[in-house]
Structure 1
Amino acid sequence: MAATILVTAITLPALADPLPAGFVRLADVDPSIRQDIRYAGSDNFLHRKVNGYGAPVCILTEDAAKALSAVQKAIAAKRLTLVVFDCYRPARAVADMGEWTKQGGPPDPQWYPEVRRSDLIAKGYVGELSTHSRGSTVDVAVAQMDRRSSPNPACGTGDADTLDFGTGFDCFDSMSETAYRGPASEAAANRKMLVEAMRAGGFKNYAREWWHFTLKSEPFAKQRFDFPITAD
């Protein structure tokens, strides 16, 4: 009997750790939403992969993923698609960003043109805690389904085919405030369209970042997670 059990244990296939209960990979809910997960590579304000991002994959709570899919279906009638830049963010990634700011340095023209790196937390651009770690916050823009290219933003970065939002994702500057009055009329209209579409889907915008939205009825409003982001 003992030998049989031993053989069985040896021959069992290794199984990947499942996601925590209540979490899903967005592609399993709505593969039509484009994913451009910036912290899994070097095209972000740290200029390197962020700790905890083992794959360029969007993970969200099931509630948030389904709500985002509803937004996608609503804008698809206009030949538009959502593009997500960040979704669930492990607590270790938030800590990594915080430690990075302590290294100090001058402003970075692409990412934080008017603020020194060491001031990014104090100015509210990098958080010591993040709603992303609760699993129902998403950084998102909108693009044409036919992938028509748009101008590369002067601050921050964006998918090459997103609509004009005045700045790119993660531009740490007052220009990124949702109601900032400086952007051209087209960019302001696109911000308004995004906010209204996400609001209709049950999300609320963070006023300092036009791309940042949290599900109003998030299931883990007082809990943060730290499991790594993996492909499966």
Structure 2
Amino acid sequence: MNLFQPIAPSLNGSPSPSPVVCENNEPLIQLTGAHPRIFMEPIYYQQQISNSLRVIHVREGVYERLQQVLTLLPQEYCLLLYDGYRPFQVQQHLFSHFSQQLAKRMPQLTSQEIVQATKKYVAFPSKDAAHLAPHLTGGAIDVTLADVHGKALDLGTAFDEMNEKSATRYFEQHTHENPLACQYRRLLYNCMTLAGFTNYAEEWWHYDYGNVAWARRVQAQAAHYGAVHATIQNHHVKEFRFL
């Protein structure tokens, strides 16, 4: 397969309306030293956000699929992970922070319009199965491409940048703006989706497996991963349980 083929317009297809959660009790695992081609920059810990994690955690099945990605990805590329499992308190902080940023940028919007605009970039902090924030499950990963030294490559925007260029297919319509970023996005997208992940169309870095967001995109009736509650101590997961 051509790993640099264009990203198709129908990223999310026709989503399944309301998949149920059938928790498979797959454990959260930490990725420290997990693979020589996986680098990590736990971005929210670096930003000193309360209850953020010093080490990135994902479900076991997510890690297995990241290993599959690396068998597809040419040897001169690596993966750089920014976030995986995200504690509920961190999700709340991020939603509030991005709402405040948008309110400053667009003062003409009402409070409700700010909430809706924020949801484009940050999931509402909900544990409800029908509206479950993807990162609360351990089935979401924020990832980019890196060189063999772990240095992030240019995929066209910064991680968490809130503008139209963050949309995964932006450079498919504006190839001339950054041809290399377009190629890198294609490579990341094709390798990730071949390994079973789905992408959130508004963020080139966000991929899901096994959670409700993933189930909707692949039109599955059930998600494997529900919400996980973790007890955080000194920025580490002390224990966790499935909700």
TM-score (norm. length: structure 1): 0.69
Out of 23, 29, 36, the position equivalent to 2:28 is: 23
Partner of 2:180: 186
> Are 2:123 and 1:127 equivalent residues in the alignment?
yes
Q: Aligned with 2:208: secondary structure?
A: strand
Equivalent of 2:153 in 148, 163, 177:
163
- Give the number of the structure whose residues are more often strand, by fraction: 2
Change (3 A) 1:136 1:95: same
Q: Which has the higher contact order (CA 8 A, sep 6+)?
A: 2
Q: Is the 8 A contact 2:198 2:207 kept in 1?
A: yes
CA distance in 2, matches of 1:132, 1:65: 14
Counterpart in the other structure of 1:69: 67
Q: How far apart are residue 29 of structure 1 and its match?
A: 3.8
* Change in 2 beyond 3 A, CA 1:120/1:132: farther
Q: Is the 8 A contact 1:202 1:216 kept in 2?
A: no
CA contact (8 A) 1:178 1:209 kept: yes
Q: How far did residue 38 of structure 1 move?
A: 0.6
1:94-173 counterparts in 2 under 5 A? Answer: 94-101=91-98, 106-107=104-105, 121-123=115-117, 124-129=120-125, 130-146=133-149, 161-173=151-163
Residues 13-48 of structure 1 deviation map (CA, whole Å, 9 limit, x = unaligned): xxxxxxx86111123642530001110022xxxxxx
**TM-score normalised to the size of structure 2?**
0.66
SS class of match (2:79): strand
Find the structure with the greater CA-based Rg.
1
User: Which whole-Å deviations, capped at 9, do the CAs of 1:148-190 have from their partners, x for residues lacking one?
Assistant: xxxxxxxxxxxxx322211111011111001113341111111
The alignment partner of 2:141 has SS state of strand
Aligned alpha-carbon RMSD (Å): 2.9
The 8 Å contact of residues 52 and 90 in structure 1, kept in 2 or not, is answered as yes
| Shift in alpha-carbon separation, 1:222–1:82, aligned structure 2, 3 A | closer
- The share of aligned pairs that are identical, in percent, is 24
The equivalences for 1:49-60 within 5 A come to 49-55=48-54, 57-60=55-58
Contact 2:79/2:145 (<8 A) preserved: yes
Rate the CA distance shift 1:131–1:221 in 2: closer, same or farther, 3 A: farther
Q: CA deviation at 1:225?
A: 1.9
Distance, in Å, in 2 between the alignment partners of 1:115 and 1:60 is 39
2:167 matched residue in structure 1: 177
Structure 1 CA distance for aligned equivalents of residues 122 and 46 of structure 2: 18
* Correspondence for 1:230: 236
1:205 maps to which residue?
199
Flag structure 2 segments of 5+ consecutive residues without an equivalent. 1-24, 126-132, 215-221, 239-243
Once the two structures are overlaid, the 10-residue window that deviates more, 217-226 or 28-37, is 217-226
Query: Do the aligned residues in 2 keep the contact of 1:91 with 1:224 (CA within 8 Å)?
Result: no
* Structure 1 segments (4+ residues) deviating >3 Å: 99-105, 113-116, 118-121, 216-222
